[in-house]
């Protein structure tokens, strides 16, 4: 900024000195005319002595004025030349010590400036680079299109812009590729500017080697992908395990308990009327066994309702809504569109688990009297909405360390490429909306 002001001041000074040039010329011209007139009058004998004196005086005055003006002007020129040299030296110093590589090319895209950072980044000494085509430092495959990009930029008339705005290279936007002298390609971030000097356009590219940053971003992305895959695999394994245990509880334990109960009933019927106390014990056993069967079935269903695998999401979700109302007394209206919706895995389990956690949250936190659940699979996305009329909460409030339910909802949704929104405000209920694309390629349970 200050540099620009300096240059502007210098421009003003230079235009003032041009004015002085004109003044000197005018003074000399006027003096010369007067002198010529006086000399002519003297020659013609018209008051020869006086005219000679006048001519000499005018000549002297003009000479003194001209010499004075000339020396002032020469002094100012020297001062402005020194100032210009100082500015050039300062700008040169800045360019040279800049951390970013700076390259200037002329209209034919040959290099005219190559700073120390450019030498370092491209591994090329300045002596070699100056005069070389810019193409030296551009990977082969981009060489053809590059001059056009620069030409188009020249035609826009804009003074500067970021390079590579439209391009995505190495997964990152606005990265362009450079080529070191040893043939190694590397990602750079660059901006280009243009200036015109004596009718010639010069393009200056300021660029930064972002290899380390791009590598770190790639590592981060890879590690996020790995974590997602791990989470996805963990969900699948957990669901499979739950399903296996639920089936064993249901098919093995509950069946065995039921047949044990039948045996107890049969044995009790064979007791004689004298064995009253034994009979009472067996009735109690039978009631215990009934309770054990019910508990086993409930535990199995809580683990993973078999109907989710056997009948599909819609019957399982209806069952979930009904048992929620039975357990909590909170009315739950469930609607599905289309009624015959048949979601496949992994979407079915994901939606079921999201609904389960949302209803659990209503039961635990909402103090609601009504929950409305809608499941819409008529479009490209499947959309689940769970709305309660409870006390709501502030979703922006910091998460409690032990609260993982909503985190789990987000994770399940994002694993399938979906989006979740939670609209809630204290006193105004809560709406959880999940949009999941059915074409998702990520596999998760």
Ligand X SMILES: Nc1ncnc2c1ncn2[C@@H]1O[C@H](COP(=O)(O)OP(=O)(O)OP(=O)(O)O)[C@@H](O)[C@H]1O
Q: For binding to ligand X (CB under 6 A), which residues are involved?
A: 361-362, 364-366, 388, 390-393, 403-406, 430
Q: Residue 351 corresponds to which tokens in the numbers above?
A: 């939606």
Q: Which is nearer to ligand X, 65 or 406 (CB)?
A: 406
On whether the CB atoms of residues 370 and 345 are closer than 8 A, the answer is: no
Interactions with Mg ion, residue window 395-434 (CB under 5 A)? 405
Q: What minimum distance in Å lies between the beta carbon of 430 and ligand X?
A: 4
Q: Which is nearer to ligand X, 362 or 434 (CB)?
A: 362
Partner whose footprint covers residue 352, from ligand X, Mg ion, none (CB < 5 to 8 Å by kind): none
Q: What minimum distance in Å lies between the beta carbon of 403 and ligand X?
A: 3
349-388 mask for Mg ion (x: CB under 5 A)? ------------x---------------------------
Q: Tell me the C-alpha distance between 349 and 344, whole Å.
A: 9
Q: Count residues binding Mg ion (CB under 5 A).
A: 2
212-241 mask for Mg ion (x: CB under 5 A)? ------------------------------
Q: What is the DSSP letter of 436?
A: E
Partner whose footprint covers residue 239, from Mg ion, ligand X, none (CB < 5 to 8 Å by kind): none
On whether the CB atoms of residues 104 and 111 are closer than 8 A, the answer is: yes
Q: Residue 285 corresponds to which tokens in the numbers above?
A: 């056993």
Q: What Rg value do the Cα atoms of the chain yield, rounded?
A: 45
Q: Which is nearer to Mg ion, 198 or 400 (CB)?
A: 400
On whether the CB atoms of residues 210 and 189 are closer than 8 A, the answer is: yes
Report helix, strand or coil for 111: strand
Report helix, strand or coil for 420: strand
Q: Residue 393 corresponds to which tokens in the numbers above?
A: 């909460």
Q: Which is nearer to Mg ion, 8 or 407 (CB)?
A: 407
Q: What minimum distance in Å lies between the beta carbon of 390 and ligand X?
A: 5
Q: What minimum distance in Å lies between the beta carbon of 225 and ligand X?
A: 25
Q: Residue 383 corresponds to which tokens in the numbers above?
A: 């959309």
Q: What is the DSSP letter of 344?
A: P
Q: Which is nearer to ligand X, 232 or 361 (CB)?
A: 361
Partner whose footprint covers residue 268, from Mg ion, ligand X, none (CB < 5 to 8 Å by kind): none
Q: What minimum distance in Å lies between the beta carbon of 325 and Mg ion?
A: 19
Characterize the bridge pairing of strands 172-173 and 176-179: unpaired
Q: Select the residue whose beta carbon is closest to ligand X and give its number.
A: 405
Report helix, strand or coil for 181: coil
On whether the CB atoms of residues 332 and 423 are closer than 8 A, the answer is: no
Q: Tell me the C-alpha distance between 177 and 437, whole Å.
A: 35
Q: Dump strand ranges (E) for 338-398.
A: 370-376, 381-388
Q: Which is nearer to ligand X, 138 or 359 (CB)?
A: 359
Q: What minimum distance in Å lies between the beta carbon of 407 and ligand X?
A: 6
Partner whose footprint covers residue 404, from Mg ion, ligand X, none (CB < 5 to 8 Å by kind): ligand X
Q: Tell me the C-alpha distance between 304 and 318, whole Å.
A: 14
Q: Which is nearer to Mg ion, 312 or 405 (CB)?
A: 405
Q: What is the DSSP letter of 110?
A: B
Report helix, strand or coil for 166: coil
Give the position of tokens 């390609």: 185
Partner whose footprint covers residue 133, from Mg ion, ligand X, none (CB < 5 to 8 Å by kind): none
Q: Which is nearer to Mg ion, 194 or 361 (CB)?
A: 361
Q: What minimum distance in Å lies between the beta carbon of 387 and ligand X?
A: 9
Q: What share of the chain is helix, strand, coil (3-state, %, to 5)?
A: 60, 20, 25
Q: Select the residue whose beta carbon is closest to Mg ion and give its number.
A: 405
Q: Which is nearer to ligand X, 232 or 430 (CB)?
A: 430
Partner whose footprint covers residue 418, from Mg ion, ligand X, none (CB < 5 to 8 Å by kind): none
Partner whose footprint covers residue 393, from ligand X, Mg ion, none (CB < 5 to 8 Å by kind): ligand X
> Sign of torsion, CA 188 193 198 200?
positive
Query: Which residues make up the interface to Mg ion (CB under 5 A)?
Result: 361, 405
């Amino acid at each position: 900024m200050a540099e620009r002001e300096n240059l502007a001041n210098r421009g003003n000074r230079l235009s003032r000195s041009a004015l002085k040039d004109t003044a000197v010329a005018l003074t000399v011209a006027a003096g010369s005319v007067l002198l010529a007139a006086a000399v002519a009058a003297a020659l013609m004998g018209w008051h020869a002595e006086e005219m000679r004196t006048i001519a000499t005086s005018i000549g002297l005055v003009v000479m003194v004025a001209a010499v004075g003006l000339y020396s002032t002007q020469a002094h100012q020129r020297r001062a402005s030349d020194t100032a210009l040299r100082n500015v050039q030296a300062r700008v040169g110093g800045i360019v040279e010590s800049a951390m970013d590589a700076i390259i200037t090319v002329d209209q034919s895209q040959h290099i005219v400036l190559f700073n120390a950072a450019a030498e370092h980044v491209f591994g090329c000494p300045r002596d070699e680079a100056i005069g070389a085509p810019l193409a030296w430092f551009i990977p082969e495959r981009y060489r053809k299109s590059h001059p056009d990009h620069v030409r188009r930029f020249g035609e826009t008339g804009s003074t500067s812009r970021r390079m590579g705005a439209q391009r995505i290279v190495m997964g990152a936007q606005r990265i362009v590729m450079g080529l070191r002298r040893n043939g190694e390609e590397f990602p750079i971030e660059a901006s280009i500017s243009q200036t015109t000097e004596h009718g010639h356009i010069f393009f200056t590219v300021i660029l930064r080697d972002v290899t380390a940053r791009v590598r770190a971003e790639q590592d981060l992305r890879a590690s996020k992908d790995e974590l997602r895959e791990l989470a996805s695999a963990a969900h699948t394994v957990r669901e499979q395990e739950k399903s296996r245990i639920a089936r064993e509880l249901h098919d093995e334990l509950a069946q065995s308990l039921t047949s044990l109960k039948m045996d107890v009933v049969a044995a009790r019927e064979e007791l004689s009327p004298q064995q009253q106390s034994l009979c009472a014990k067996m009735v109690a056993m039978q009631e215990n066994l009934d309770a054990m069967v019910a508990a086993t079935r409930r535990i199995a269903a809580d683990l993973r309702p078999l109907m989710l695998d056997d009948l599909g999401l819609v019957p399982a979700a209806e069952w979930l809504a009904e048992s929620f109302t039975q357990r909590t007394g909170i009315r739950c209206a469930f609607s599905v569109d289309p009624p015959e919706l048949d979601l496949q895995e992994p979407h079915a389990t994901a939606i079921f688990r999201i609904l389960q956690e949302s209803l659990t949250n209503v039961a635990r936190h909402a103090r609601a009297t009504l929950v409305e659940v809608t499941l819409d699979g008529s479009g490209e996305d499947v959309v689940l909405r769970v709305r309660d009329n409870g006390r709501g909460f502030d979703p922006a409030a910091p998460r409690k360390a032990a609260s993982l339910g909503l985190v789990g909802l987000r994770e399940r949704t994002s694993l399938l490429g979906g989006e979740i929104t939670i609209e809630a405000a204290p006193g105004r209920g809560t709406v959880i909306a999940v949009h999941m694309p059915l074409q998702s390629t990520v596999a998760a349970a």
